[in-house]
Amino acid sequence: MNLIFLGPPGVGKGTQARLIERRMGIPQIATGDILRAAIAVKTPFGEAAGRYMSRGDLVPDAVMIEAVAERLQQPDTVGGFILDGFPRTIPQAEALDAVLAGMGRRIDRVIAFGAAEDTIVRRMSGRRICRASGHIYHLDSNPPTTPGVCDIDASPLYQRDDDRPETIRRRMQVYREQSEPLIAFYQARGVYTAISAEGEIEEIYQTLLAAAAPQVLG
Ligand code: AMP
């Protein structure tokens, strides 16, 4: 099952992608995580990308397309994958089609997560991330057992620079201008399903399973 998770930043795509990864045994490919890992180890690629990210802007298409094309060559994607945060522009979506076609593969389903803007802003402001492995928490809706510490690997939690109010606004604007056109792009291909991402994590997860992989439920 080759899936794309679409939706505004902070809507909860990453949290749900990690649940699906565990349930279906297919890897989550989160381009934001790939970039943050490159920044953490201070590669030239990470340093260049970090300048766009801290402003809330998108990293140039060519760089992202190359990173995803390379990731899709890994053998763990053969049984399927979840793209989380990619594509974010029409040129990225077109390049993805071409890369997959070259591998004799295609996207099975695009799930678009939707929520009200104030829900999204609340989710981003309260989001905390585990330094070691990127596990995602929220101060109100999914807090760690010990404040500031990851339940899974005990590493410290941090707030992403781009989850601060000024950058959140810019990221929402970038989403509307550059990523929303993807909705029509995938609707035209007949693989598009929109789901509500309002409510609790478990509730959204059940909606998602029914939409993305009804055979897993049955
Ligand atoms: P995310 O973790 O998905 O919210 O991504 C964080 C930031 O990484 C974004 O605001 C962009 O600056 C950058 N980024 C992640 N994925 C992409 C992409 N597909 N295209 C361009 N920039 C991206």
pLDDT for 151 equals 97
Segment (H or E) for 175: none
Q: Which atom of ligand 1 approaches the CA of 56 most closely?
A: 10
Q: Is the CB of 52 under 6 A from ligand 1?
A: yes
Note the Cα 45 to chain centre separation in Å.
Answer: 20
23 catalytic, yes or no? no
In a domain, 202, yes or no: yes
Q: What does the pLDDT look like over 74-129, one tens digit per residue?
A: 999 999 999 999 999 999 999 999 999 999 999 999 999 999 999 999 999 999 99
Report yes or no on 163 lying in a domain: no
For residue 165, is it within any domain?
Answer: no
Q: How many domains does the chain have?
A: 1
What is the average per-residue pLDDT within 160-184? Answer: 94
Which two structure tokens, joined as six digits, stand for 85? Answer: 């945060």
Q: List CB contacts of 197: < 8 A, sequence separation 6 or more.
A: 7, 11, 12, 16, 113, 114, 115, 119, 204
The CATH number covering residue 85 comes to: 3.40.50.300
| 110 close to 184: Cβ distance less than 8 angstroms | no
Q: How far is the CA of 215 from the centre of ligand 1 (A)?
A: 31
For the chain, the average pLDDT equals: 94
Q: Could you tell me the distance, in angstroms and rounded to a whole number, from the CA of residue 54 to the centre of ligand 1?
A: 10
Q: What is the pLDDT of residue 24?
A: 93
Residue 215 has pLDDT above 70, yes or no: no
pTM score of the predicted model: 0.93
71 is catalytic: no
